[in-house]
Structure 1
Amino acid sequence: MFLVVDQAAGFVSLDCGGKDNFTDELGLVWTPDSQIIYGEATNISVANETRKQYMTLRYFPADSRKYCYTLEVTSRTRYLVRATFLYGNFDNNNVYPKFDISLGATHWATIVISDAYTIEVEELIFLATNPTICVCLSNATTGLPFISTLELRKFNGSIYLTQFENQFFLSVSARINFGADNEDPIRYAPDFQIRDVTVTG
């Protein structure tokens, strides 16, 4: 089951479960996934989390299907995909979900929620070989599969070029800004690729 998203210049910020377009404090425009006709949208409330994109989410049945977002891309171009997950006890069950996220048919990660109020982030970098990609949720073993945000960022030139990119994607482990004079993460617009860089002492 799919939702097809047409984005401008490979730049997508989906507010999963949202209802309206909005611009955040960084100047990023978020688009709701309200065209989707499956799954359920719900609101959550998490103390100290005021960003609008984390006040909603979309969840799906814990069945044998894959629930996919299809994003249009340019073939032979590199992209970053970021998916985030903030549980917030949306189902009032206090059962931490565990489920899979995949890029097309390729397993990307197993999402294991261990704290209702912590945002889980998964990122990968890949070379597009087709005009669309699918990001899919499936295989819930506990709770319900859900997603808070889905982002797509197009890279320019040969950044992140690898000799194996036709067979594999790069999974982002961490980005660390050594020697920074404060603890603020670096994001858009100083980093035009919209990467989260974490400061370490």
Structure 2
Amino acid sequence: MTMARSITTFSFALLASLASALVLLVQAQQNPGFISIDCGATLAYTDERTLITYESDEGLIDSGKIRQTSRMLTYQNDRQLLKNIRTFPNGARNCYTLRPDQGKNRTYLIRATFWYGNYDGENQDPSFDLYLDINYWATVDYSYYRFEEIMYVPKADDIQVCLVNTGKGVPFISALELRALDDGIYRLESGFLQLHWRHDIGRSLDYDDVR
């Protein structure tokens, strides 16, 4: 009788633990404070490795063309983010507008990802400028996988990320992401801090993405 009670108690405890784990997983998949956009994707999806849900950029921008990167290049084969891009052959300045729920005067991490992937068969690196609102952010001029990151405190509820044609090729983008940061750790009164380099010490994961 005692053994039966122990087994029953253990079973309930196990079920409770599994239920709690499921709740935590669902909460993690909701990604509070995240904006994750796969530029050029037609449908939303959840990344199998990071469990981050990426939205299509359709409806978020009314310019540009969706193109597929070359399947001859194997680098992006297991990276959904890099299989499609949005290009901007028309217009000098094309902008995405991000509207984080937390609003203005908060610190955000913004990441723009680029993978040319020889989508046009020209095998020529384009070069163009990246702006954050009215501020120059970076020049993108390298065709291999690249991302730009910046910590930013906006003075308005909307944040514009703009690709500016400088006459040196067609601007493009693979992904655009925003993360709300803990102001207790990362507190900027104004302006921005741009990433120079990041080292991940002691990582046990077996893939390259850090989100």
State the superposition RMSD in angstroms.
Answer: 2.2
How far the C-alpha of 1:127 sits from its partner, in A, is 1.2
Give runs of ≥4 in structure 1 deviating > 6 Å.
Answer: none
Alignment pair present for 1:43 and 2:68: yes
**Partner Cα distance (2:184, 2:159) in 1:** 20
Residue identity in the other structure for 1:10: G
Indicate the SS of the match to 2:138: strand
TM-score (norm 2): 0.75
Q: 1:68 to 1:33 in 2, by over 3 A?
A: same
**Partner Cα distance (1:160, 1:106) in 2:** 21
Identity of aligned residues (%): 35
Residue 151 of structure 1 aligns with which residue? 177
Higher strand proportion (structure 1 or 2): 1
Answer whether contact 2:85 2:172 (CA < 8 A) is retained.
yes
Q: 1:14 to 1:136 in 2, by over 3 A?
A: same
Structure of higher CA gyration radius: 2
How far the C-alpha of 1:84 sits from its partner, in A, is 0.5
Residue identity in the other structure for 2:36: S
**Partner Cα distance (2:152, 2:146) in 1:** 20
For residues 58-77 of structure 1, what are the alpha-carbon distances to aligned partners after superposition, in whole Å with 9 as ceiling and x for unaligned?
000264x2100001131121
- Aligned ranges for residues 88-103 of structure 1 at < 5 Å? 88-103=117-132
How far the C-alpha of 1:140 sits from its partner, in A, is 2.9
Answer whether contact 2:36 2:53 (CA < 8 A) is retained.
yes
Structure 1: gaps (5+ residues): 1-7, 188-193, 195-201
How far the C-alpha of 1:33 sits from its partner, in A, is 0.7
Residue identity in the other structure for 2:51: G
Answer whether contact 1:62 1:140 (CA < 8 A) is retained.
no
Structure 2: gaps (5+ residues): 1-30
Residue 161 of structure 2 aligns with which residue? 135
Higher helix proportion (structure 1 or 2): 2
Answer whether contact 1:18 1:32 (CA < 8 A) is retained.
yes
Residue 71 of structure 1 aligns with which residue? 98
Q: 1:67 to 1:87 in 2, by over 3 A?
A: same
Q: 1:100 to 1:66 in 2, by over 3 A?
A: same
- Aligned ranges for residues 5-24 of structure 1 at < 5 Å? 9-24=32-47
TM-score (norm 1): 0.79
Residue 4 of structure 2 aligns with which residue? none
**Partner Cα distance (1:9, 1:83) in 2:** 19
For residues 14-72 of structure 1, what are the alpha-carbon distances to aligned partners after superposition, in whole Å with 9 as ceiling and x for unaligned?
01011001001110101011223211001113313221111000000264x21000011
**Partner Cα distance (2:204, 2:67) in 1:** 39
